[in-house]
Structure 1
Amino acid sequence: MPLDPGAQRVRDLIREAGRPPLHTLTPAEARAVSAASRPVLQPDPPEVALAEDLSCPGPAGAIRLRRYRGLGTDPAAALPCLLFLHGGGWVIGDLDSHDQVCRALANHLGACVVAVDYRLAPEHVFPAAVEDCAAALRFVAAEAAALGIDASRIAVGGDSAGGNLAAVLALMGRDGAVPAPGFQMLLYPVTDLAANTPSYLRCVEGYPLTTATMRWFIDHYAPDAAHRIDWHGSPLRAASLAGLPPAFVMTCGHDPLADEGIAYARRLDEEGVHVAHLHVADQMHAYLTMGRFIPASELTLRQAAAALRLHWEHAAP
């Protein structure tokens, strides 16, 4: 399917600006280029009832978090919570890169969102990000009362690399390594670090995420080939997905990650997990953080939030 006109405009802007592909830069340069693009691509962050920075203990020191409460929520209520893990190939991204997304989700959910500033590669390779996200989930579950969170309704979610980490946490929760989340929101997730599906052959030039850029991310995050077949890095390689919590999986057509995301949704379904799979055929990777040009980003966030809200309503005592 042809690319959405708004997404095509973003591609044109990138080309007109002469922005170099991320994989031709150092990680520090890539972070700076990505940060500079935020005010151009992202809409103004919506108002929320609360947005505050805090931290939790981690295996290598304090982990920065940001807690949001949706607009109109009761300040005294214990709200359901989405632990959100940002994208960026485990190399770029932070609390600010996804602040607008987290605010929108908090409002659409009418709930709490806690974003995690996990350690990035190549300074901290696999499994550092997994360890930090696991520590954040343990903290949110243990301190739920103090954080104004309903401990019985905690979900995990994220986009791209963050979707990968959310899927890993769901598997760890099923196996008892972390508190088991009740839902997983996986937005164009990485599910297999092999990076060899047919969709990798379709996105080789001119996209925000190309085949070369994705492999550059993976090389920084998991330089040891043995880690790429570990399900903590490649959840699609887990022996079984049975017993996982319900999932919302979003994939998009113009994305190297499309096939592995589709395969993950299919396996969840085949192995008895309730899954809603949304495939946005005319969109490209990273469009959720390009809402100034791509209205579908807001629609997709509303759809993801609606799936999670429906789950919470059914899970309510």
Structure 2
Amino acid sequence: MPVTLDADAAAVYKAFQEAGRPAYETLTPDEARAYYLAARVVTNPEPPELAEVTQLTIPAPHGAIPARLYRPTTLRQAGGFAPALVFFHGGGWVIGDLDSHDVVCRMLAHEAELIVISVDYRLAPEHKFPAAIDDAISATQWVADNAAALGIDPTQLCVGGDSAGGNLAAVVALSARDADGPTIAGQVLIYPATDFAMSHPSHREPETSVLLTHSVIRWFRDHYLTSAADEHDWRASPARAETLAGLPPAYVLTAGADPLRDEGNDYAQRLRDAGVPVTDRFFPGQFHGFFTMGKLLPQANVAAAEIGVWLRALNAE
């Protein structure tokens, strides 16, 4: 499909090009992590004031999982308990951490008036698939099990994330459905990676190779997966799940200049076909990763506000 970047997105892309931004596939994972974190300082908007930000340590079979709890100044509560969003950061399962998505989590807590718990799952290539999945599932279960102590209503527990984090959120929702996990009230899937086959048309369009290119995706895949067979595992490719019926309501965000655009749209349609309530939001003139760039891209702040509205309406049902 024809893709034309919005004026502000085009300006940001040009600035990255002129700055000599190195391609991640030319870097080591450690170098890529440092570069990704440094870029957030330039692109993140000013964070809203919150009532509390607390470091957490979540016990798990492999060892402790670091996490961070965000409590907004305006918090929707009933009987002292509030809705919550367990958030998984993006970064291709290789880069990103609590700090790279700190401002995003603050904004979501503020906009949705709920508690956000960000999970610092293990990264590849040091910890390959399914380590990130195991951490995401363990962390979500721990939050549900400790909801009372955290001031959370376990019946209003949502999961969400961007890119690789959207993948993890989708898989957590599937696992909770199939493995007698916690009740998931909703899933926020921000330009999610859903199918490692990478066969959708948007993977072949040159207009979608903006910041996230096809070679970068392959670099992430090769660091994350252990073999080609993993691509067909629904825990890596949630679109390969036999059925999406019985999953919680979903908010699915996609961007026009994004290799993952079509697989995100297809996942939203499959959810809808399976009877799952879906709100899908398309930002045609934005590129993959724009959601964290609210200082430079006003549409990112629009998206955060709209997700907040969706979560408030979901929790009110």
- TM-score, with structure 1 as normaliser: 0.96
Contact 1:203 1:255 in 2 (8 A): no
Confirm whether residue 157 of structure 1 aligns to residue 160 of structure 2: yes
Q: Distance in 2 between matches of 1:20 and 1:203?
A: 19
State the Cα distance separating 1:81 from its structure 2 match.
0.3
Confirm whether residue 239 of structure 1 aligns to residue 242 of structure 2: yes
Partner of 2:252: 249
Partner of 2:266: 263
> Secondary structure at the residue paired with 2:176?
helix
Q: Distance in 1 between matches of 2:38 and 2:63?
A: 28
- The one-character-per-residue Cα deviations of 1:186-224 (angstroms, maximum 9, x if unpaired) are 000000011121111124786221111011111111131
Q: Which residue of 13, 18, 21 maps to 2:20?
A: 18
CA distance change for structure 1 residues 96 and 33 in 2, over 3 Å: closer, same or farther? same
Give the CA RMSD over aligned residues. 1.4
Q: How does 1:134-173 map to 2 (within 5 A)?
A: 134-173=137-176
Q: Distance in 2 between matches of 1:72 and 1:306?
A: 14
Partner of 2:41: 39
Q: Which residue of 174, 182, 189 maps to 2:185?
A: 182
* Overall identity of the aligned pairs, in %: 49
5+ long unaligned stretches in structure 1? none
Moved segments of 4+, more than 6 Å:
none
Q: Which residue of 9, 12, 15 maps to 1:7?
A: 9
Partner of 2:205: 202
Partner of 2:134: 131
State the Cα distance separating 1:74 from its structure 2 match.
7.2
Q: Distance in 2 between matches of 1:226 and 1:200?
A: 20
Q: Distance in 1 between matches of 2:85 and 2:201?
A: 32
Q: Distance in 2 between matches of 1:167 and 1:84?
A: 11
Q: Distance in 1 between matches of 2:66 and 2:47?
A: 20
Partner of 2:59: 57
Contact 1:160 1:190 in 2 (8 A): yes
Q: Distance in 2 between matches of 1:206 and 1:115?
A: 28
Confirm whether residue 290 of structure 1 aligns to residue 293 of structure 2: yes
AA paired with 1:159?
Answer: D
Partner of 2:275: 272
- TM-score, with structure 2 as normaliser: 0.96
Q: Distance in 1 between matches of 2:102 and 2:80?
A: 23
Q: Distance in 2 between matches of 1:88 and 1:116?
A: 13
CA distance change for structure 1 residues 204 and 128 in 2, over 3 Å: closer, same or farther? farther
5+ long unaligned stretches in structure 2? none
Contact 2:92 2:221 in 1 (8 A): yes
Partner of 1:30: 32
Q: Distance in 2 between matches of 1:29 and 1:187?
A: 25
Contact 1:52 1:68 in 2 (8 A): yes
Q: How does 1:207-218 map to 2 (within 5 A)?
A: 207-218=210-221
Q: Distance in 2 between matches of 1:74 and 1:153?
A: 11
State the Cα distance separating 1:178 from its structure 2 match.
2.3
Q: How many residues align?
A: 314
Contact 2:32 2:95 in 1 (8 A): yes
> Secondary structure at the residue paired with 2:50?
coil
CA distance change for structure 1 residues 170 and 164 in 2, over 3 Å: closer, same or farther? same
